[in-house]
A and B are shown apart, each in its own frame.
Chain A
Amino acid sequence: MSEESTNPMREQIQAAIEDNPVLLFMKGTPDQPMCGFSARTVAILQSVGQPFAAVNILPDPRIRQELSTLSNWPTIPQLFIDGEFVGGCDIVTEMYESGELQQALGLDASQAPEAEPVPEPEAREAAPLTIENRL
C-alpha cells in the first residue's frame, strides 16, 4: 500500500476533481439518478442554476472505493467545489437551505430560498463527465 504506487483510478478521480469547478459523484446520471440522495443533490444544484459535472460511480465499484479513500467519506453522493470536498446530500441540503451553498458557489446569496423545501428532481440537459470514458 505504498502512496507512490501508480493508481490510475485514483489519479483519474483526482484529475476530475481538479479539472471541474463543481463536480458531483453520484449514483446514476443527472438525467437518470439511481438513488434518492443523488437525485436530491442534483435537484439542488439545478435549482440554484449551477452547471456541474457529474460522475456516475455505479459502472465500476473501484470508483467508489477510491473516491471514499480519497475523501474519507463513506457515502454517495459527494460534492466537490473548486477541488474541495463539500459534503454529501445532508450537508448540501443544509447548506442550500441556509444559503451557504449559493455562497460557496459564488452565486447571488439573494437566491437563497426562504426555507423552501428541496425542489423535486427534474429532467435537465446535462453534459455529465463520465469518468469511465476517460479511462
Chain B
Amino acid sequence: MSDYRIQGETGEWEVVVGLEVHAQVTSNAKLFSGAATAFGAEPNTQVSLVDAAMPGMLPVPNRECIRQAVRTGMAIEAQINKWSRFDRKNYFYADLPQGYQISQLYHPIVGEGAIDISLDEKNPDAAGKRIGVERIHVEQDAGKLMHDQHPTQSYVDLNRSGVALMEIVSKPDLASPAETGAYLRKLRSILRYVGSCDGNMEEGSMRADVNVSVRKPGDELGTRTETKNVNSVRFVMAVVEQEARRQVEVLEAGGKIQQETRLYDPDRNETRSMRSKEDAHDYRYFPDPDLLPLVLDDAFLAECRASLPELPDAKRARYEALGITAYQATVLTAEVEAARWFDALLDAGVKPAAAANWTTSELFGALNRTGKDIENSPVSPAQAAELLGLIADGTLSGSLAKQVFEVMLETGDGAAKVVEDRGLKQTSDTGAIEAVIAEVMAANAEKVADYRGGKDKLFGFFVGQTMKAMGGKANPAVVNEVLKGMLGESVAS
C-alpha cells in the first residue's frame, strides 16, 4: 500500500496513475517499409512510397520489430500471444499520411506482464512493489509537424512516419510520483538491457502518456485525464504531482473532472487541456484488411527467449551472491552499459568484492568528475583488471593505485606501463624500510618516548612520516609490521 497522499481541504486523496509508454523499436528499417529509422536525417529523406501513403501502397511487417516486441514481453514475463492482429485507428492529421495508424487494439502481441520496482532505489533493503503491465502492442509512429518555420504554414516531415513503436501499457497500479518515476526508470533500463529501445527520451525514442485520477481512500476510481507525450522522467513525475493537485482542487471546489487529453508545459510546470484533435475520439478501429493475422511459431519464440541477456534483477541477485553489497549491486546494474563493463571486469578474473568496490568508487567517481559516461570510459575493463591485479599481487598499495589510475585516465596507458614509466611500484624491501624508520625515529626522539609512554595514537604519525620519506611507495602492511617491531610497545605507566 502506498502511503502517498495529497492533502486537500476536505481530507486526504489517493492518486492513481497508469502509464502508456511509447518506445521506438531499435531496428534498421521501419515497421511496414524498408525506409531507414536513424534519427536526425534531412526531412523526408527516410520516407518510402508506403510511408507517404501514396495511392496503392501496402504494408509488409518487419520481422525484427515483431521480434523486439516479443523479446520485451518475455523480459517482463508477459504472456506472448502467438496469434495477434493489426487494427487501423482512423483519424485525420497532417502527421498521419494514411489517415489511419496501423496499431493493435483487439488482439495485441503481448498480454499481461509485470515490472518490479523498488520504493526507494537508494536503499537496497527498501520494500518493492510489483507494477502490472496490461499489454504491449506494436504500432506505427507518426511523422513530425513543425509550426515555427513559417508564419502561415506548418511543415510536415514524414521521416518518423512508420517507425515501429511498442506501446507498453501499465495497469493503474502506480500511486505516487516516486513510484511512477521508479517504474519508468526500471522500464527504460529493461528496454536498454534487452536492446529493443534505446530509451532516449530527449530524442523522443521513448515518451509517456500519463493517466492520472484521484479518489478518497476507499472510493471508486475517479475520472482520469491523459497528459500526452511527456519526454523525461522528471517531467512525468511533475505531471503526476501537478495533475493530481489540480484534480483535487477542482473536485474540492465542487467541480467534475473532464475525461480529456492534456499537454504538459514544463516552463509553467502545469498541464493544460489540448484543443480536441478529433470528434470524441471515435477512431473506428477495425482489423487492417491488408494484413493477415500474425502467427508466431515455436522456433521463433525459442530464438527470442534464447537471445535475452541476463536482466537487471537477475544480475543484481547474482552479484549479491558473489559477495557484492546490495547497494553496489543496484548501482552496477542500473544501466546495461555499466553492467556489461562490470561483467567484463569479472570475466577478466578480478575478485567480485574488490571489483565492485573499485568500480563504484574509483571508476564511477572519475567518470562523474570528467563528465563521461561508461561507453566512453577512458579505461577499459581489461585495463582496470590489470590495475586491480597489481594491487592484488602487492605491487601497488591502495593509494599508489589511485595515483596510477589518475595517470591512466590522462594518458590512456596501461597500469603496468605507468608503474614502469614512473617507478610507482611499492616497495616491500624490509631493509630499506627499516633504514628509513630508523631515520624517522632518530629525528623524532621525543615522540618515540611519548609513544612508548602510552600515546599509542602517535603510531599513525610514524606511519605517515615513513610513507612520506619513502615517497608513498612503501608497502603499508610491511611498514606497519616493521614499525611495530622497532617502536616496541606503547604502555601507559
- Is chain B found bound to chain A in the same assembly? no
B residues whose Cβ falls under 8 Å from a Cβ of A: none
